[in-house]
Amino acid sequence: MQSNCNCNLLATSNLFLPMKHYTHSLVLAFRASALGALLSVGLSTAEAQTDEEDFVYHVGEESPIAGHGFSIGGFIFPELFITGTGGLFEPGSNPEDYSNSEHDPANEIGIQSIELDLAFLFSDTLSGFVSGAGFQTGDHEWEAELEEAFLSVQINDSISVAGGQFLNEVGFQAHRHTHAWDFVNQNLINGRFLNEGHLITQGGRVTIDSPETGILTLGVGGVRSHSHEEEEEEEHAVEAHGSEFTQFVFTVDHKFQLPSDPSLTIASFLSGGENGIYDETYVFGVGFRKIWNGHNHGSGAPEFCTGAVQLQSEFMKRTVQGLNEDGELFDFDDYGFSTSILYGLTDSIILSLRHDFVSEVEHSEMYATHRISPAITAFFGPDNRIRTRLQYDYVDHEEVGGEHVAWFQVMLYLGGDGTHAGHNH
C-alpha cells in the first residue's frame, strides 16, 4: 500500500532576547543569527520537498541509507535517535534553571539524548523491547540508563501480559521516550508528579484491548528511582523529590475512543505508592486527545499530514502524605495541567503551542509556574529522518517572575520503518 504524503506525528517562535550588557548582546545576536540560518535551511528544504519535488514515502519501502528495514537475524529491529539541543537564555540564567526532568536540555549546546531501541519479534505471540539512553548532564558530563527491558506475551486478541522494566502507562505523555516528545522539554505536570516524567517500574503489566471498552492498562512493581545526589545541598530539591514514588507503585490507565467519533480519545488514570518521606503519594488525572483530518496510510496509526490538527489536554492532581523532620504527619495537594495544539502546515512542517501549569505547595520550594511554548518542527532528508525544532518558552515563575528562553533542536533517526506516525513508545 502506498502513502501520498510524508507524514509525522512527532511535533514543534518567537525570540525574546533582553539586552542587558552590550558584550553579551553581541554574543546573543550572533547565536540568534546562526539559529535563524539553520531554521531557514530546514524550512527551505521542507518547502522544496512539498512544492517542487515532494518526497513520497511508500509504506514498506526500504531506504538502505537510513537503515530502513534493517534487522538482526530477521527478528531484532533496532532504531537509533540522536538529538542535539542548544538554547539562548537571559543573562544570569542557565539551562538547568529551566530543566523539568533529567532528559531536558542541560547545557547551552550539547547532546540531549542518544537513544537505542531494540524490538524483538520472536513469534506472533512473544515479543520483547529494550531501550537505553545516554545523555549529557550539566557541564557536559555523560550518564546512561536502561529505560525499558521487558518481554510481552499476547494471550489472545484482547489481552497481553508483560514483565520486566518499563515506562508506566499514565496518560498520554508518561510512556513516551524523549525522541517522541512533541516539544523540546518535558511537560511540567509529568516532571513534578511522575518522577521527572518517566515512571520506570520493575514488575508486571497487563493490557486489555477491547473495541467496546477501549484499552485498560494495569501496572505494578518496584520503582527505579532517579539519582539526585548532586541536588541534595538544595533543600527545595530534596523536598520536591521526597514526594516522588520511591519503592512500590501501582498504575491504572484507561483510554477509549468515542463510538460516535473515533478521532476523540478520552483518558483517565491513577497511580499510587510509597514515597521518599515515609508515607504514600497518589496521582490521578483525566485527559483527552482530538485529531481532525488525520489519515491512515498503512502504518497502523493516524498520520499527521497537511491540514491535520491535534488538540490534547491532561489534568493531574496529586495527594502526598509524609513525615516531617520532627516525625509529625503532614500532607499536601497540588495539581496542574498541560494543553497543546498541533497543526500540520505542510506534510513536513508542524506548528505547535503548549500551555503548562503546576500549582504552589505551601511551606515548600514548589512554586506555581505557568509556561507558554510555541514551536515549529520541520522534517527533511531521506524518509524525513532529520527533524529540526525551534521553540520559545515563556516561564512565569511565582518566585522569580517571567523568564524567556529559546531552543533549537536537531534529531537524526536511523532504522525502523521511516515514519513516526503514532510513534509514541
User: How crowded is the C-beta side of 394, counted as CA atoms within 13 Å?
Assistant: 12
pLDDT at 257: 92
Is residue 182 situated within a structural domain? yes
CATH of the domain at 385: 2.40.160.10
Q: Has residue 6 been placed in a domain?
A: no
* Residue 146, in any domain of the structure: yes
- In this predicted model, what pLDDT tens digit does every residue of 374-386 receive, in sequence order? 999 999 988 889 9
The total number of structural domains that make up the chain? 1
In this prediction the pTM is 0.80
Of 71-75, 116-120, 265-269, 341-345, the one with minimum mean pLDDT is: 71-75
Residue 231 has pLDDT above 60, yes or no: no
In a domain, 233, yes or no: yes
Asked if residue 11 has pLDDT above 70, the reply is no
12 within a domain of the structure (yes/no): no
- Please check whether residue 291 lies inside any domain of the structure: yes
Q: Environment class of residue 118 by beta-carbon count within 10 Å: exposed (0-12), middle (13-18) or buried (19+)?
A: middle
Contact 16, 392 (CB under 8 A): yes
Mean pLDDT of the chain: 81
> Which residues have CB under 8 Å from 102's CB, separation 6+?
135, 137, 143, 196, 226
Specify if 183 maps to a domain: yes
Is 16's pLDDT higher than 90?
Answer: no
Q: Which of 145-154, 321-330, 344-353 has the lowest mean pLDDT?
A: 321-330
Round the CA-based radius of gyration of the chain to a whole number and report it. Answer: 21
Distance in angstroms (rounded) separating the CA atoms of residues 24 and 34: 16
Using the predicted structure, report yes or no on whether residue 49 has a pLDDT greater than 80: no
Q: Is residue 374 part of a domain?
A: yes
What percentage of residues in the chain have a pLDDT greater than 90?
55
pLDDT given at position 423: 43
Domain with 180, as residue range(s), is 22-415
Residue 302 confidence (pLDDT): 52
Tell me what percent of the residues of the chain surpass a pLDDT of 70.
76
Question: Please, which residues have CB within 8 angstroms of residue 229's CB and are 6 or more apart in sequence?
Answer: none
| pLDDT of 3 | 44
Q: What is the pLDDT of residue 371?
A: 96
The beta-carbon contacts of 110-113 under 8 Å, at least 24 apart in sequence, are 110/84, 110/85, 110/86, 110/136, 110/140, 111/82, 111/83, 111/84, 111/135, 111/136, 112/83, 112/84, 112/85, 112/136, 112/178, 112/184, 112/409, 113/81, 113/82, 113/83, 113/178, 113/179
Question: What is the average pLDDT across 158-168?
Answer: 96
Give the least confident one: 40-49, 57-66, 138-147. 40-49
Predicted pLDDT at 33: 43
pLDDT surpasses 80 at 182: yes
